[in-house]
Amino acid sequence: MLVLTRRANQSIMIGADIVVTVLEVRGDQVRIGIDAPRSVSVHREEVFRELEASNRAAASPSFGALEGLTALRPPKHDSGGGPLP
């Protein structure tokens, strides 16, 4: 891992169009600003990892599991929508 020391209001460039700026350092928290093209998605790592794990757990359920699922119906709600298009 590349390690750089920066102060508040100093930045790091990643490639030509991603700029990561240290905005504020207070105690054990650091506020960071990120300028990146729209095609680059930026996430808090722990949230992204949680989604990865959830997607992997949900991926390609077995045929047997799906059979039971089709019998499952949502509870009755006044505002419930219709079935999927």
Give the binding range for another protein (CB under 8 A) out of 3-11, 14-22, 25-33, 37-45. 37-45
List the Cα angle 21/27/32 in 5-degree steps: 15
Residue list 63-82, contact with another protein (CB under 8 A): 63-66, 68-75, 77-81
The minimum distance between CB 64 and another protein, in angstroms, equals 7
Residue list 41-60, contact with another protein (CB under 8 A): 41, 43-44, 47-48, 50-60
Residue 32, burial from CB neighbour count under 10 angstroms (0-12, 13-18, 19+): middle
- CA 56, 41, 18, 45 dihedral sign is negative
Counting Cα atoms < 13 Å in the Cβ hemisphere of 19 gives 7
The minimum distance between CB 45 and another protein, in angstroms, equals 11
- The tokens for 71 are 């019998």
- Name the site residues for another protein (rule: CB under 8 A): 38-39, 41, 43-44, 47-48, 50-61, 63-66, 68-75, 77-81, 83-85
